[in-house]
């Protein structure tokens, strides 16, 4: 796609979650409309900044765990978001330079910045797919151009499933993606949870902004995504509490939960 037609696809009239999230982690790839709702939400519920920041740290710990302790060499990162520090391939390839990573997002702004995700080591590979979570078959088919889907894959879906309003639909999409991956593959999820009045108010404000809505779920529903998988210790926990660096104690009471499950 030419640079001009890609630019035409970027809608700056309403907020977009990739850009809004980028603003929350201190990035520069966002527009006035994203910063406006971002500032409004920061004033209603400053805790959403902690969710964004601690979720990225969880991504780092989960990928290092899978590449290190579990020997996973392939990752499929769906709902990638805008590049920031320590993207999945950077973490994975620090542990295993031959790791292969496929990134998937449907936002044109992420496509426009995808070059920053394509900085693979010579031994490994990275690819970017302009594709949709709602079409798992197409995602798997295209991912197979880079990943060997007969070998274990770490499927990462971080802070993205809340875009799928119906819980059963979200579960089905996760099931369909996992069904295309072999035993020994892992599912990594984190998501905001309806665990405080502030988070619920933030979600309502975001959804009133004209952006594609984001629904915050009860913790049991996050746990339900792992049905049929072997949950890695410590299970489904608040994001800062998942294998904290140095094994240290409980983190802040962030309104987001995460987990890692292994396909038996």
Ligand X SMILES: C[S@@+](CC[C@H](N)C(=O)[O-])C[C@H]1O[C@@H](n2cnc3c(N)ncnc32)[C@H](O)[C@@H]1O
Name the site residues for ligand X (rule: CB under 6 A). 17-18, 21, 55-56, 79-81, 104-107, 110, 132-134, 158-160, 163
Indicate if the alpha-carbon torsion angle 58, 59, 62, 65 is positive or negative.
Answer: negative
Place of tokens 């994203």: 34
Task: Please state the closest distance from residue 125 (CB atom) to ligand X, in A.
Answer: 20
Smallest distance, ligand X to C-beta of residue 252, A: 17
Q: What is the rounded (10 degree) CA torsion for 235, 237, 240, 243?
A: -10
Residue 40 has φ and ψ, to the nearest 5°, of -60, -45
Nearer to ligand X, 53 or 219 (CB): 53
CB of 183 to ligand X, least distance (A): 25
CA 241 from centroid of its chain's CA atoms: 18
CB of 191 to ligand X, least distance (A): 9
Closer residue to ligand X in complex, CB, 44/184: 44
Q: Rounded to an integer, what distance in angstroms lies between the CA atom of residue 161 and that of residue 192?
A: 9
The residue number with the shortest CB distance to ligand X is: 81
User: How many helices (H) and strands (E) in the chain?
Assistant: 10, 8
Nearer to ligand X, 78 or 181 (CB): 78
Q: Rounded to the nearest 5 degrees, what angle is found at the Cα of 95, between the Cα atoms of 63 and 149?
A: 60
Closest CB to ligand X among residues 151, 243: 243
**Is 107 or 255 the residue whose CB approaches ligand X more closely?**
107
Nearest approach, Cβ of 197 to ligand X (angstroms)? 21
Are the beta carbons of 227 and 200 closer than 8 angstroms? no
Closer to ligand X by CB, 23 or 226: give it.
23
Residue listed under structure tokens 């449907």: 106
Taking alpha carbons only, the member of 90, 45, 88 closest to residue 206 is 45
Smaller CB separation from ligand X, 134 or 218: 134
Q: Residue 51 Cβ, how far from ligand X at the closest point, in Å? A: 9
Least distance between ligand X and beta carbon 133 (Å): 4
* Strand, helix or coil for residue 119: coil
Q: Which of 78, 79, 103 is nearest to 90 (CA)?
A: 103
Q: Which is nearest to 57 in space by CA: 239, 188, 248? A: 239
């Amino acid at each position: 796609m030419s640079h001009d037609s890609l630019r035409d696809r970027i809608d700056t009239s309403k907020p977009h979650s990739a850009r809004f999230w980028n603003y929350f982690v201190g990035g520069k790839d966002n527009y006035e409309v994203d910063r406006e709702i971002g500032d409004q939400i920061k004033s209603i519920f400053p805790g959403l900044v902690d969710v964004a920041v601690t979720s990225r740290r969880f991504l780092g710990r989960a990928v290092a765990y899978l590449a290190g302790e579990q020997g996973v060499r392939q990752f499929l990162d769906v709902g990638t978001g805008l590049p920031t520090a320590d993207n999945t391939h950077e973490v994975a390839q620090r542990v295993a330079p031959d790791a292969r990573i496929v990134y998937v997002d449907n936002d044109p702004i992420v496509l426009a910045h995808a070059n920053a995700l394509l900085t693979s080591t010579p031994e490994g590979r990275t690819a970017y797919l302009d594709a949709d979570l709602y079409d798992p078959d197409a995602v798997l088919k295209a991912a197979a151009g880079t990943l060997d889907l007969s070998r274990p894959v770490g499927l990462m879906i971080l802070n993205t499933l809340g875009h799928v309003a119906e819980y059963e639909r979200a579960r089905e999409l996760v099931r369909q993606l996992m069904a295309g991956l072999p035993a020994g593959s892992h599912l990594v999820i984190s998501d905001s949870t309806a665990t405080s009045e502030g988070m619920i108010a933030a979600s309502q404000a975001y959804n009133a902004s004209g952006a594609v809505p984001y629904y915050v779920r009860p913790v049991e529903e996050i746990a339900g995504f792992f049905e049929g998988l072997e949950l890695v210790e410590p299970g489904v926990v608040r994001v800062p509490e998942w294998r904290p660096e140095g094994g240290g104690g409980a983190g802040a009471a962030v309104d987001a939960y995460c987990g890692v499950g292994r396909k038996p």
